[in-house]
Structure 1
Amino acid sequence: MKMAWKEMKKNKLRYTILGSIVFLISLLTFIISGLANGLSQDNASLIKNLPGGTFYMEEEADETYSFSSLSEEQQQEITEEQPETTFFSIQIGNFIDTADKQRSVAYVAATDSTYFPEVNAGDVILDASLEEEGIAVGDEITNEQWEQTLTVAGFVEHEKYSHSPAAFINPDDFQTFFHTDSMQLAFITGDAPAFENLQAFSNSEFLNTIPSYSAEQMSLNMIVIFLLVISGMLFAIFFYMINVQKLGIYGILKALGVKTGKLFQMMWAQMLIISVISLILSIVISQTFQVLAPSGMPFHLTWQATGLLSLVFIIIGFIGATLSGIQIKRVEPMQAIQQGEM
């Protein structure tokens, strides 16, 4: 470590340039990861907030929840097997607030459950993002197709579906407004039995049935993966170029009895120092950005995701540096000294 630090101080510019590039790549990775997680929350926090379980929809719905309709017989069959089953429906729609402004929401109605708010008939509970836009408890909302109004009874945090704030209403109101007498989905925690004519989904599988969710997440995650690969290639290329320039020095050190493992340790120490400093700066800036980002921006970077990405960066940097150092192992002292003299 001491020898590695001395060389880095002697060649400050060279290692500063590498550190700056690693810093920019890691910062960009954290920002994109935060955007991916933020968009994921904005698109499906209603589902992601549920515990691990199994979702059921009608098999003929072809994995499209809006086409699913669970008959009373199916609901009764499921309830007999799992008495604590939650049945719920989702309908993308809109409402008009007291300022005659139209707002898009995802209406959600559910049977008695600990996973969704319990709403009285004639009331509605909205996602807190609508409170920030001026809607208050006691306001009455309506729709051009409804004959009655709903009264805002409260707000809940981080409940969105398909990039729309959730609006929880009573099942009776849902059936009246949307002219249906059945629920679309069933949710069961614990054992997941199979039911005839029903298709089962895990939480992650159900998320992929949400329009645009998988395509949106795949695109952003691919960018993150490419950035991680680029960082590994950067370390490999950088240390390869440095090792070529230092073959003569390595030859002398080997002739003096310095083992190859010691030279690798010096290179790993340099990689670790550069990575840690760059990652610390990236983490500080990305977390600061999360605090200062506008409330409407879907940015969510958890410490768990930050720690995981940092670990991946270090591992990839280690692999890249190690691959570039294979020539250190192969170099012969006299041959390297002669190349250095030339």
Structure 2
Amino acid sequence: MFLAWKEIRYAKLRYGLIVGIMILVAYVVFMLSGLANGLADGNRKAIDDWEATTIILSEDSNKVVNASQLQQSDMNRVTAKEKAGIGVYGTAIEKKSGGEKTNVSIFGTANDSFVVPKIIQGRLYQKNNEMIVSENLLSEGYRLNQLIKINDRLLKIVGISKATTYTIAPVIYLNPTAFKTLKYGDHSSGAEPINMIATKGQTTITQQKGQTKLEKMTPATFIENIPGYTPEKLTLNTMIYFLFVVVTAIIGIFMYVITLQKTAIFGVMKAQGVATSYLVRSILAQAFLVGIIGVVIAVGLSILTSLVLPSAMPFAIHHTQWLLYSVILVFVAMLGGLFSMRTVTKVDPVTAIGGE
């Protein structure tokens, strides 16, 4: 390590270029990771907040909630410690006075359901023209006791819950009757339609002939089938994995070129009795230091960047994942350093110093 650090300090420009490239690649890795996590969390946060153990949809929905059509009466076929029938609806809202519209995700369920979040301001909805909204909707200019327009109907914000999102949109909760009117209009039948049933505890389903078949799944399976969730995550993660390969190649090429330039020096050191294993360890130590310095600076830059990103750009730091990526980046940097090992081991002291 001493020899490695000594050489890095001596050839600051040369190794500075390698560190600079390492910083840039690692910075892209952490930024892509933050964006991928932000998108994933934005799609699933409200579902995670429920802490449900099972999600039930209609069997013919192909695990997609918007394609699942159930009725409140279907809850009688489900046995669980706690259960909640939920209608799901994505639409846009605007202030009573007009202005820009804001996309939201609406959940229609009874106000005593376990999925309804705790209120941090105001109260729970009681009437058909009342609702509660997630706190992140306040940044769009909405406030407690304000009337808002949804599908030409006026509803009042009577409560505010903690910030959350579903399909990258703030969340609204209201009662099943209000949900039915908003989604299906005034002339819909008397039954209260829902899209899903969420449960806690051991869950059993009674399938009845002539009725919609029900399918239960874990919340993780439900989330994976949210439209766009899995393709977005897979695409961004693939880019991150490709960058690991890029780091290996870049560090390997740079270290190989530097090693070739030091062939004569290595020859002299071997002639003086320096072991080949010591020289190999020195190269690996240089790659390790390059990786550590690059990753630490890249993490710092990524955190600073996250502080100035607009609120419309979802970004989330998962510390465990970033730690894992940091270890992988340092490891692949050292792997790149191994490319030079063969060159070092084959150096002949006599040939390297110009002998016959």
TM-score bucket (shorter structure): 0.7 to 0.9
Decide whether the 8 Å contact of 2:72 with 2:85 is kept in 1. Answer: no
Task: Verify: 1:75 aligned to 2:75, yes or no.
Answer: yes
Q: Aligned AA for 2:40? A: S
1:24-78 CA-to-partner distances (Å, cap 9, x unmatched) read 1111111122122222233332224343733221111122211212345642222
Partner of residue 173 from structure 2, selected from 168, 173, 185: 168
**Alignment of structure 1 residues 209-220 onto 2, 5 Å:** 209-220=225-236
The secondary structure found in structure 2 opposite 1:325 is helix
Match of 1:222 in 2: 238
> Quick one: distance in 1 between partners of 2:234 and 2:173?
30
Asked whether the 8 Å contact 2:43–2:229 carries over to 1, the reply is: yes
TM-score (norm 2): 0.84
Q: Would the aligned equivalents of 2:66 and 2:195 in 1 still touch at CA under 8 Å?
A: yes
CA distance in 1, matches of 2:201, 2:225: 21
- Bigger strand fraction: 2
Task: Give how far 1:313 is off.
Answer: 0.7
Q: CA deviation at 1:191?
A: 4.4
Partner residue, 2:85: 87
Q: Which moved more, 1:225-234 or 1:12-21?
A: 225-234
Give the match for residue 155 of structure 1: 160
Distance 2:85 2:263 in 1: 69
Match of 2:43 in 1: 43
Q: Which residue of 1 aligns with 2:223?
A: 207
Matches within 5 A, 1:264-283: 264-283=280-299
Q: 2:210 — aligned with what?
A: none
The reply on whether 1:341 has 2:354 as its aligned counterpart is yes
Q: Matches of 1:151 and 1:191 in 2, distance apart?
A: 37
How far apart are 1:192 and its partner, in Å? 5.7
TM-score normalized with structure 1 length: 0.87
* Unpaired stretches in structure 2, ≥5 consecutive residues: 118-123, 185-190, 208-212
For 1:110, the aligned partner's letter is T
Root-mean-square deviation (CA, aligned residues, Å) is: 2.5
Q: In the alignment, is the contact (CA less than 8 A) between 1:249 and 1:337 conserved in 2?
A: no
After TM superposition, give the deviation of residue 210 of structure 1 in Å.
1.6
Contact 1:45 1:160 in 2 (8 A): yes
State the secondary structure of the residue aligned to 2:311. coil
Q: For the Cα contact (< 8 Å) 2:176–2:192, is it kept in 1?
A: no
Alignment of 1:87-166 (within 5 A): 87-101=85-99, 102-111=101-110, 112-117=112-117, 119-121=125-127, 122-144=129-151, 146=153, 149-166=154-171
- Unmatched 5+ stretches in structure 1: none
C-alpha separation in 1, matches of 2:206 and 2:76 = 12
Contact 1:39 1:299 in 2 (8 A): yes
48-57 vs 99-108, greater mean Cα deviation: 48-57
Does the C-alpha gap of structure 1 residues 190 and 321 become closer, same or farther in structure 2, counting only changes over 3 Å? farther
Structure 1 pair 50/276, CA: closer, same or farther in 2 (3 Å)? farther
Quote the Cα distance in structure 1 between the aligned partners of 2:205 and 2:332. 43
Q: Bigger shift: 246-255 or 222-231?
A: 246-255
Amino acid of the structure 2 residue aligned with 1:142? K
Partner of 1:300: 316
1:341 aligned partner, one-letter code: G
Name 1:186's counterpart in structure 2: 197
Paired-residue identity, %: 24
* 8 Å CA contact 1:247, 1:336 repeated in 2: no
Determine the C-alpha separation between the residues in 1 that align with 2:254 and 2:53.
Answer: 47
Change (3 A) 1:270 1:41: same
